[in-house]
Structures are given as structure tokens and as C-alpha cells.
Amino acid sequence: MRILWLGHNLAFPPKGGPLQRNYNLLREAAKYHEVHALVFDQPASRPPGVRPEDCVRALSKFCAGVEWVPLPKDSFGIGRYWRAVGGLLTGEPYEFRWLRSREMTKRLARLAGRFRFDVVHADTLGLAPYVSLVPSVGTVLNHHDIESALVQRRAASERSLLWRMFWSREAAHLLAAERRWCPTFHVNMVVSDDEGQLVQPSCGESKICVVPNGVDIGYFTPRPDPGGTRLLFCGRLDQLANKGAITYFFNSIWPQLSGRVKNLEIDVVGKNPPAWLHELSQRDPHVHVPGFVDDVRPYFQKATVFICPITDGGGTRLKILDALAMGMPVVSTTFAASGLALRDGTHLLIADTAETFREQIVRLFADMSLRQRLAQGAVDVVRQTYSWDTIGHSLVAAYEVAAARRMEGQRNFPCAGQAERCS
């Protein structure tokens, strides 16, 4: 089949959740089908020195065609606030207004006139309106997370009344958009059954296919236990979920933990660390903040325990899968591990209070046999369930379902919520 991938980012380099997922899904799709990508370029998602042309070159190694469109100028700076305010007045979510582009419309029309596509993959809800420009195709809408639920959680956590009102209004607009657009797609692709349940009222169970997040098991390979008392946190630090997690850790967990564990150290790896974290690292020589790194694996190799104290956000956490693939013991909140087929005590340790989080870390530092047992369980579950090669079969099955529905003109072609039923 010939697939048209409409994306909201140039999926290279695959650093961070959405980029990592998109890069690997594109690569897997291209193993089986001819894939053409038409995507927006987000300068903020590219590391310094990486140009759009570099991303195109990398993706063109497996895609039949890669084209990019710059985000509209008013998607940046003060312009984005005007777009947000306009959305409040019109009821159109910011997600849609941010991605509205005449240039994208023209380029898409040109591609649709040049090629006959079998399936169009829209990589986020805000791209849904573009799909109608491509006639007679199977349609797939990818949900990295369920936008309305994500924004509603953000609203609930806001202390400012004004921002809480803004995000509540935005969540309502997103929910209305999901109810409008999700049923128009042949397949709604989600990362977990939990996410599928959130979107099911909008599109119906028969239109949901689970295509999980995964990990490159050839890149992230098991490392020997280094011993010691070193922690690791990874994640882009200008994202709210990661920023909130690391703030919670250093406010509520670190002070007492550092007093209990001799020679305790931590690496906090991720793009755009906040100023207060840099200041903390200058005051405390045991806190290391390297920021963005090209290769995170050396940090995985020297750390004893990986921590994921996330309590907000959406989707599933690829950072946990990366750590598990390298045989690292993980301490995570229930929320951070949600949507992943992981068992407490078999694949990782769960901790939902600051006290429990400290105790689980201390427990792992003291018990090498526990670390080894968790490491083996982690590697096994990743290889069986979360390798991109395995997930690629579910992705291709979702495309085949969409194409079949288009050919048969059906709206209820069978596709269940479980990933294995779409493979």
C-alpha cells in the first residue's frame, strides 16, 4: 500500500516521547509499505545544530518521500497567545489553530494530485481537518494521548484561577473536537487500553486499535549492574509532566533520602532544565544536570536505579521502557506506569507517596538480588511486548483495517481494543 503520513514534527533525532514514537513507527511502516511523509517542522523539537534538511536526510533512508512545512509564524511568541485567545472566542481548540497552515494545505493538495494513496495517517487530532483533502482513502488518527483528558488534568492541577478556567475551557473544546472528528476516521490508534477507554465514548470501541509505545532493543541493550548509589531521571524538562515530577522529587523525596544514603548521587538528563535545578546542582555536588545529551545510554549504564515520579501527563512513558530494556531497576508512580503491561515487584517497583518512594530506592540499593530479578523481568517483558518490530505488526494491521473499511464502505469493520487483535 501507499501510505501518506501527516505529522506535526520532523521525527528526527528520536529523542523524547513523540519523536521517538514517530521515528520508529515510520521506520516500521516503511518495512511493509511505501510511505510518504508530509510534516510540520518544530524548531523547538530539534537539538541545536540539527537542521530540517538533516532530519529529511535521515528519514529518507526508509521513507519514499519526505517533505516539511514550517509552522506559521504566528505559532510562536506573542502570536500563539492570540491564537489561544481566538480559540476561546470561537470554540476551536488551540491544537487546531496552532497547526492551521495555508502552505500545508497547498502542499497536501499537490501530493494528493500526484499520488494515489491507500491510507492517510494523521499523527495528532489537530491534523484531522487536512485528511478531507485526500479523496478515497482509509484514514487513521493517531492519539499520542487523549488531548481532552490531558488538558483537563492540567486544569485540575492549576493553582491560578485564571489558568484553571482557561484550561478547563480548552479541555471542553478538545472534547467537542474529539466527538466531531474521531468518528470520521476508520481507525483511532491509541497507545494503551487505558487511553482507548478515554476516547471510546467519542468514536466507539470498534474503531479503536492499540499500537503501544515501544523501545529499540538493538539500541537499548542490557547493561551489567554497576552497584553503587546513583539515581537517574530522564525527560525533556520544559514539559509540564517532567518539570512537575522533578520538582516533586527534589522537594519531597531528595532531602530525606540524601540524609539516609551515603554517597547518593543523581543525574537529571533532559533538554531545557529550569534555572532552579542548575542552582541546586551548584550548591549540591551530588546533583548533576548535564541537560540534553546525544546519547543517554552512558547515563543508564552507570546509574543504579531509574526513577519516574511522574503524576501528570498523557500517553505512556517511553523513558520507562528504555530503562527496562537496559535492565535497570525502576521506581515509578502508578500513574507513570499506567498503560504498560508491567507488574509491581516483577518488572519494577511502584511508589505513590514520598515516603514509599524513598523506601523503595533504599531497598534497591541494599538488595542486589532484587535488582537482578527485576532486571531480568524487565528485559523479558520488553522483548516480548514492546520491541518496535512486534509493534510494527500492530501498526500495519491498523492500516490494513483502515484500507479494508474504505474498500468496503463500512463504518463498523471489526477492530478490537486489544493490540493483539489488530495484528
- From 81, 111, 83, select the one nearest 96 (Cα to Cα): 83
State which fold the 2-214+387-422 domain adopts. Rossmann fold (3.40.50)
Cell of 147: 488531548
pLDDT range class, residue 316, cuts 50, 70, 90: low
**Cα 292–chain centre separation:** 17
Domain extents in the chain: 2-214+387-422, 230-385
pLDDT at residue 413, as a whole number: 40
Please indicate whether the domains covering 2-214+387-422 and 230-385 agree at the CATH topology level: yes
The dihedrals phi and psi of 387, each to the nearest 5 degrees, come to -75, 145
Average of per-residue pLDDT across 327-345: 93
Secondary structure class of 37 (helix, strand, coil): strand
Q: How far apart are CA 304 and CA 300, in angstroms?
A: 8
- Return the SS3 of 289: strand
pLDDT of residue 314: 59
Structure confidence by residue, pLDDT tens digits, 216-236: 999 999 999 999 999 999 988
24 pLDDT band, cuts 50/70/90, is very high
Query: What's the CATH superfamily of 230-385?
Result: Glycogen Phosphorylase B; (3.40.50.2000)
pLDDT at 13: 87
pLDDT of residue 292: 87
Asked whether the CA dihedral 251, 253, 257, 263 is positive or negative, the reply is: negative
54-91 per-position pLDDT tens digit: 999 999 999 999 999 998 765 555 555 555 666 666 77
Task: Give dist(CA 11, CA 58) in Å, integer.
Answer: 9
Strands 65-70 and 119-122, by their bridges, are unpaired
Exposure on the CB side of residue 367, measured as CA atoms within 13 A: 13
Q: Say if CB 364 and CB 349 are below 8 A apart.
A: yes
Q: What is the pLDDT of residue 421?
A: 42
The pLDDT-based confidence of 417 (bands split at 50, 70, 90) is very low
